[in-house]
Amino acid sequence: MSQQILIAGGGLGGLAAALGAVRAGWQARLFEQAEEFGEVGAGIQLGPNAMRLLASWGLEAQVQRLAAFPEALVVHSALNGAVLGRMTLGDFIAARYGAPYATIHRADLHALVLDAARQAGVGLKLRSRIAAVLPGVGAVALRIEDGSDVEGDALIGADGLWSVVRSHVHADGPPLATGHLAYRALVAQQELPAALRQQDVQVWMGPHMHLVSYPVRAGEQLNVVAIVHGAPRGDAMDWDNAAVTTELLAAMGAVAAPLRDLVQAMPRWRLWTLHDRPPMTGPDEMVRGRIALLGDAAHPMRPYLAQGAGMALEDADELRRALAQANGAVRDVPLALRRYALNRWKRNARVQARARRNGRIFHSTGFVRWGRDVSMRLLGERLLDLPWLYRGG
């Protein structure tokens, strides 16, 4: 009889974990609190490390159909618009790392993995908010708010930044505000003036801010994310709020005309207050007994390395390998989950730390900003290309 894994959270990481568990020979039951499956937000950048995994899961053709594949990543000064550095993507990066660099709408990727999970036979349960985690002897259980209990051999907390499951693994309190605000917008390229339409990844760096734009949905839409410094807005957990262009422009300060034009061309903005946790310090932050954490529940990270989704997908694939080893003659589930955590925590911690460092560099001022710009002009591609990251863990 197959072992059963319970998964809390129906986001990208939870669905990928469920898909991996089924492919490892387990029965997977996933519990999502929302009324329906879906994703908020807009774009995701997928480095070659993430794209290789999606291809290995049989999703390459679907991603090819829905994603965009930029030819370059171009870094500009937000103050004067000058090009500081460039990284070649397209066929070059695909040949170098065995997979391309893609940009995709978050909802499109979520829908692909959701469909794959359904086809694999994952048990998907909506309107199932978790009330409690009930560890037991030789099993673990979830109590749902409707009063029902469900039991399994293992539990994966993939319930995001505000994870309920996390406190049963690593009770370190709620995530902390970073002091950064993310403004996000999505627009059809045909609605933009020709000069503002883009098919590459464009990064603008300025004092206390940066902005990233890139195509999604086969290039038909443009995703724009601006991150500025600012105090949290409203209820910390109410992270998706309407925003206005004038507030963003004021926070950005004096920037180059092309950047200002791009911001003003967006029909609407949504505002996120960014939170994170310190980089992980050991595997015990990811696993305890039959309970393990995955994705943002384990290692939320700032978006300055564009690897939040990539790390969740890598987690899911490593979990698949660990579960496969626990589904045969050896059935030590806690040992298998600990092996998963041991194989993931250092890489996740490195990405968390590097993302924080990038944020300081992106938003730097004074002499540090001057040094950044000079280094980028001299060593642009060598600084932007990250073999340790794109070759995988």
Active site amino acids: 214
CATH of 40-106+176-276+363-393, one of 3.30.9.30, 3.40.50.720, 3.40.50.10740, 1.20.1050.10: 3.30.9.30
Could you tell me the two tokens for 260?
Answer: 């200002």
> Residue 325 — very low, low, confident or very high, per pLDDT cuts 50/70/90?
confident
d(CA 242, CA 119): 36
**Segment 226-276, tens digit of pLDDT:** 999 998 766 545 556 678 899 999 999 999 999 999 999 999 999 989 999
Cα angle at 269 between 303 and 180, to 5 degrees?
35
pLDDT average, residue stretch 331-355: 95
| Distance between start and end Cα atoms, the chain | 32
- The radius of gyration of the chain's CA atoms, rounded to the nearest angstrom, is 21
The fold for domain 4-36+126-174+278-356 equals: FAD/NAD(P)-binding domain (3.50.50)
| 330 pLDDT above the threshold of 50 | no
Look at residue 337 in the predicted model and tell me its pLDDT. Answer: 97
Examine the pLDDT at 296 and tell me if it is beyond 50. Answer: yes
pLDDT in tens, 129-173: 999 999 777 899 999 999 899 999 999 999 999 999 999 999 999
Confidence of residue 328 (pLDDT cuts 50, 70, 90): low
Average pLDDT, the chain: 93
pLDDT at position 236: 47
Q: What is the pTM of this model?
A: 0.95
Domain map (residue ranges) of the chain: 4-36+126-174+278-356, 40-106+176-276+363-393
In which band, very low, low, confident or very high, does the pLDDT at 368 lie, cut at 50, 70 and 90? very high
HEC states along 1-33? Answer: CCCEEEEECCCHHHHHHHHHHHHCCCEEEEECC
pLDDT band at residue 392 using 50, 70 and 90 as cut-offs: confident
Lowest-confidence segment of 117-131, 233-247, 340-354, 366-380 by average pLDDT:
233-247
